[in-house]
Structure 1
Amino acid sequence: MFQYTQRPSLLFFIGCLICAVYINLNVAPQWVETQHQYQTYENTQGVLVYKSAGEEKPIGQIIHYEDSQLNQVALNKNAKKPALSEQWVMQQSTNKVVLLKADFHFGLWSLLPAFVAVALCLMTREPLVSLLGGIVIGAIMLGRFDITHQIFIPSLATSSAASILILYLWLLGGLMGMWAKTGAAQAFADYMTLHYVKGPRSAKVITWMLGIIFFQGGTMSTVLVGTTVKPIADKAGVSHEELSYIVDSTASPIASIIAFNAWPAYIQAFLFIPGVAFLATEQDRISFFFASIPFSFYAMLAVLGTLLLSLNVTTFSGRPLKNAIVRVNNTGQLDGPNASPISAKELQQNHVPAGYQGHMLEFVVPLLSLIIIAVISYFTHGSPQIHWAFSGALATSILMAMAKGMSLKQVLDGFGNGLKGVVVASVILMFALTIGILSKQLGGGIYLVDTLGSQIPFWCLPIILQLMTMVIAFSTGTSWGTYAIAFPLALPLAWAIAQTQGLANPELFMMICFATVLNGSVYGDQCSPISDTTILSAMTTGCDLMDHVKSQIIPATYAATLAALLWTACVCFFTAGKAY
């Protein structure tokens, strides 16, 4: 029998389930034309091609835009699923070739699966069950009632799911298990405490500095910093809410400021606008990215906020973080009274064999090998090869342990304990990936962008774009996925408004709008309980997931609010001098 506290969440889910069935039976999808603009060129064989995800792909038959069955006029007449999913067309007004696609959404209902997952997370504090609930709702809305074969198997068959299994289950879990088996993490914590860490403040400052140093962003920075600092911070008495906040809020924010990583190369592909000279080539678009960095106000304020907390300045930290600090000071408890950390006990205890003496170099050397491989692969391949880096670190850790006399059986025991410790978190990550795919298929992001089709005053566009991307990233759990949705629609809209409303500095206006999309997506990704970086921040620091979300969202919202005011002020002061 369900406890009383569980009944509201059960009733809520049943109500949403009824809504999902109703949508599937009675709500017709709204088909929307979406244009994807790529830089097209003839390759050495004389074939017209374009680049997508770093791969050169041929362009098929090109027809006139007006003749396509995927343009909005044709979609409105047909009101049914078109026979084609995509088509290359020539726009007569610009003489540009674009890839036309037909996507659909269910209006506001498209956000229901993500809303259910987030709401259940807040109500039950059980991310696994909550994500599964959102997946079930989305599957029913799409009419895919065989959830195992129509949802989970296709999702698990993707390269993203395989990457999660290999990286976060085998490699990360194995590495953390080896550090627990050899006692390397504890030895490193003891060494740092003896020589550098004198208390909670110095432990948090070291965490912040590592977040700056590992500026690659995303999951790699989160995992690197989280696994490195946890033993130090635990020994120094830093609450897990503080630690996870510092780790999470110096990952993507710093990557968007110190952008010598994969971000510019990925994002520039979505910035092409026909007829806009300063976005004409790939190099132009990358230069535009770097020129826009001074307007990344949210990222700067987020990093500043973590520094202030590290220095024990809690004015803008919010009540949950302040309560966590008081709790640790009074009771020594690193977690709240009802916390359920998703990092299992296998990774929180040492299982060092009798007679084996762990050394801090067994922690430092694998970590250095990881960083070196990541940096070298970034310069040789254009992006850090995360799997190579973690494979090298795990192999180094195993070889060092065996060279010191640890038996193969003991190594396998440590490796196995590591897998046990992260299996729940890995499943949560795969569920988060699945619900993100479902949200995209249901057209949640497209619906939100589609609502901006009316005329918008130039001065309020940055805030609208910020709010839009915050909601998309929060509901889908991904900033990079939000970029793919928002940039191809938001920047052309910004350019059109700059031209029609006669702004004096259209390029500066575009930079500000670009920064709002970039930063709004980072905020939504950071604060979403279904985001991989949010989950990994909680997992690697040993924090309860919802405690991390609730404590981080307040200082992040302070930063986002101040950033919105700064963007609006910049637009009003620097671009409003139009030729009246």
Structure 2
Amino acid sequence: MTINKNVMAFFILVVGLCFAQYVNLYVDKTWLEQSYIYDIYQSDKGKSAYKYKGEEIIITDVVPYDLSPLNQANLNKVDSPALTQQWVEKENGQLQQLKPAFHFGLWSLLPAFLTIVLCLITREPLTALFSGIVSGALMLGEYDITDSVLIPNLAQQGTAALLLLYLWLLGGLLGIWSKTGAAQAFANMMTEKFVRGQRSAKVVSWILGVLLFQGGTMSTVLVGTTVRPLADKAKVSHEEMSYIVDSTASPIAAVMAFNAWPAYVQALIFVPGVSFLATEADRIAFFFSSVPFSFYGIFAVLGTLLLSLNITTFSGRRIKEAHVRANTTGQLDAPGAKPLSAKELQTCDVPKGYHSHYLEFILPLVTLILTAILTFIFMGTPKVNWAFGAALVLSVLMALAKGMSLMNVIDGFGNGLKGVVVASVILMLAVIIGFISKEIGGGLYLVSLLGEQLPYWLLPITLQLITMIIAFSTGTSWGTYAIAFPLAMPLAWAIGESQMLANPELFMMICFATVLNGSIYGDQCSPISDTTILSSMTTGCDLMDHVKSQIVPATFAASLAATLWTACVLIFA
């Protein structure tokens, strides 16, 4: 059977690479106009300007929209535009930035499709991700994979920050906790005072996931590293834990949206002429008004609560089997599983004579949380690197102050790096294939399939399905927002106006919620998503076991959400 799977995977890879080369040589690019709207103001010198990453940018060389080579009418006439961006002025006086983007039609989904299929067949995410990257590079005509694809993407600031955080800071912190026995001491303390078995261990994990509602990678890492030792001690299967950690990260962030999400999303949902989306304050208020329609986020969080209470009715066969396996055999992983966390982080290596204490776990954890919260309050965004760096430094100082030798501390730090290096490489490759998928326009192609003649009651579920596919294919919810919202919101308004809906604002809220929640579902279930990978890594689960076990309850929640969205539109819009 193994040989057959390998042969099948090799055949699919060869065919996929051949198709990629065919696209590069014979498939024309379809260019699309992409417009970006900023909050523009008058600078001290009386010139139009906007803020980007805290810096003031002066707008120059503005041309009328009709004369721009980047408007759709002119893009239809050329094989490749000469400009990469241009500021234009519309007839109503509004300034917009135009950027051209392209897709290869259905072929744009090839790298993501190839990656996911190979992941499912081989259970080897490293080779599957690299194969997807190679196919995307061939489609773009980039044959020097190392210098033209890997290095430029790894050199980007965001990618380097991820590498710093998840390899050095997270790996080092986990290694120090393993060396000092802090995580095990914390697990022992929790078991003695709070955790009495599997159910209480899972409920504690669920509560932490809800309380840390910032969402994304930070919540995943923080909850996963905190609950792993006590869940392992209580013999909770890794499939259950990775699902609880993953499904209380982004879903809860969409429901309890007192985080960075509204500030990011509001910039993407401006629609000219729509009064309730006119200003930044209006758009943030619109976000919060739409929260009751985040049905997927609500059902996902409730589903993990039921699982935490050992109610597995809606959890799917794989999670049920994992629950039974852990109960009857004590095996936390399925037979043949390959957990992402290495052996160095699965056992304690406390030096002889060193006495572990649970405060060595709690104090760095509190420092991490406080640093993230305070930087969010005073700086507008949580400084995750600062938070993990402060926790790591405090852990090292406490170990040295208690008498651990510097050599043992460095040994623990090194073991931590080794323990997460494979997961970090997978994460880097996932980020790169996300960049490639965006560049070749898979998301743009899917959204461009929609039209204004679509019946209004079909639009919410259509947007949900498309954003689910985009996020699943690219492994990012925020990247999907950047693609989908600027296209979906004007489309929803146009359909609402043309079909004369009685309550177009409510219709817009529901469509907004479908894009928001559909992207979360796709990101959460994707094997190339950073949160999926980190949920597996921090809980010690096999990546594909996590993906396959999670997709059933997540799809059940998404199906219920789709039914409610359609019903709300039919009844109230």
TM-score bucket (shorter structure): over 0.9
Using the alignment, how far apart are the partners of 1:16 and 1:218 within structure 2?
A: 32
Query: What does residue 91 of structure 1 align with?
Result: 90
Using the alignment, how far apart are the partners of 1:37 and 1:465 within structure 2?
A: 22
CA RMSD of aligned residues (A): 1.0
Residue pair 2:35, 2:97 contacting (<8 A) in 1 also: yes
Q: Secondary structure at the match of 1:402?
A: helix
* Residue 123 of structure 2 is aligned to residue 125 of structure 1: yes
The Cα of 1:3 is off from its aligned counterpart by 2.9
Q: Secondary structure at the match of 1:3?
A: helix
Query: What does residue 142 of structure 1 align with?
Result: 140
Which of 544, 548, 568 lines up with 2:566 in the alignment? 568
> Structure 2 counterpart of 1:248, which letter?
D
How many residues in Structure 1 have an aligned counterpart in Structure 2?
A: 572
Which of 162, 168, 173 lines up with 1:164 in the alignment? 162
Deviation string, structure 1 residues 259-286 (Cα, Å, up to 9, x no partner): 1111011111101111111111111111
Query: What does residue 38 of structure 2 align with?
Result: 38
Q: Secondary structure at the match of 1:294?
A: helix
Query: What does residue 3 of structure 1 align with?
Result: 3
Query: What does residue 543 of structure 2 align with?
Result: 545
Using the alignment, how far apart are the partners of 1:57 and 1:282 within structure 2?
A: 19
Within 5 Å, give how 1:177-576 maps onto structure 2.
Answer: 177-575=175-573
Using the alignment, how far apart are the partners of 1:91 and 1:454 within structure 2?
A: 22
Residue pair 1:377, 1:383 contacting (<8 A) in 2 also: yes
Give the percent of matched residue pairs that are identical in Structure 1 and Structure 2.
Answer: 65
Deviation string, structure 1 residues 377-405 (Cα, Å, up to 9, x no partner): 00011111000100000001000000000
> Structure 2 counterpart of 1:27, which letter?
V
Residue pair 1:39, 1:272 contacting (<8 A) in 2 also: no
Q: Secondary structure at the match of 1:152?
A: helix
Using the alignment, how far apart are the partners of 1:54 and 1:203 within structure 2?
A: 43
Q: Secondary structure at the match of 1:337?
A: coil
Could you list the structure 1 runs, at least 4 aligned residues long, displaced by more than 4 angstroms after superposition: none
Residue pair 2:237, 2:322 contacting (<8 A) in 1 also: yes
Residue pair 1:402, 1:408 contacting (<8 A) in 2 also: yes
Deviation string, structure 1 residues 357-382 (Cα, Å, up to 9, x no partner): 11000000000000010110000111
Using the alignment, how far apart are the partners of 2:5 and 2:503 within structure 1?
A: 56
> Structure 2 counterpart of 1:535, which letter?
I
Query: What does residue 58 of structure 2 align with?
Result: 58
Q: Secondary structure at the match of 1:220?
A: helix
Using the alignment, how far apart are the partners of 1:57 and 1:457 within structure 2?
A: 41
Report the TM-score when normalising by structure 2: 0.99
Using the alignment, how far apart are the partners of 1:51 and 1:361 within structure 2?
A: 43
The Cα of 1:326 is off from its aligned counterpart by 1.1
Query: What does residue 48 of structure 2 align with?
Result: 48
Residue pair 1:189, 1:235 contacting (<8 A) in 2 also: yes
Residue pair 2:452, 2:495 contacting (<8 A) in 1 also: no
The Cα of 1:52 is off from its aligned counterpart by 3.5
Using the alignment, how far apart are the partners of 1:20 and 1:505 within structure 2?
A: 46
Deviation string, structure 1 residues 116-143 (Cα, Å, up to 9, x no partner): 1111110000011110010010011101
Query: What does residue 25 of structure 2 align with?
Result: 25
Using the alignment, how far apart are the partners of 1:27 and 1:557 within structure 2?
A: 34
Using the alignment, how far apart are the partners of 2:366 and 2:518 within structure 1?
A: 33
The Cα of 1:61 is off from its aligned counterpart by 1.5
The Cα of 1:85 is off from its aligned counterpart by 1.1
Residue pair 1:217, 1:252 contacting (<8 A) in 2 also: yes
Relative to structure 2, which stretch is displaced further, 26-35 or 143-152?
26-35
Q: Secondary structure at the match of 1:270?
A: coil
Residue pair 2:452, 2:494 contacting (<8 A) in 1 also: no
Using the alignment, how far apart are the partners of 2:223 and 2:179 within structure 1?
A: 20
Relative to structure 2, which stretch is displaced further, 332-341 or 61-70?
61-70
The Cα of 1:182 is off from its aligned counterpart by 0.2
Residue pair 1:467, 1:520 contacting (<8 A) in 2 also: yes
Residue pair 2:463, 2:488 contacting (<8 A) in 1 also: yes
The Cα of 1:184 is off from its aligned counterpart by 0.4
The Cα of 1:33 is off from its aligned counterpart by 1.1
Using the alignment, how far apart are the partners of 2:480 and 2:28 within structure 1?
A: 25
Using the alignment, how far apart are the partners of 1:84 and 1:453 within structure 2?
A: 28
The Cα of 1:454 is off from its aligned counterpart by 4.7
Report the TM-score when normalising by structure 1: 0.98
Query: What does residue 578 of structure 1 align with?
Result: none
Structure 2: give runs of 5+ residues left out of the alignment: none
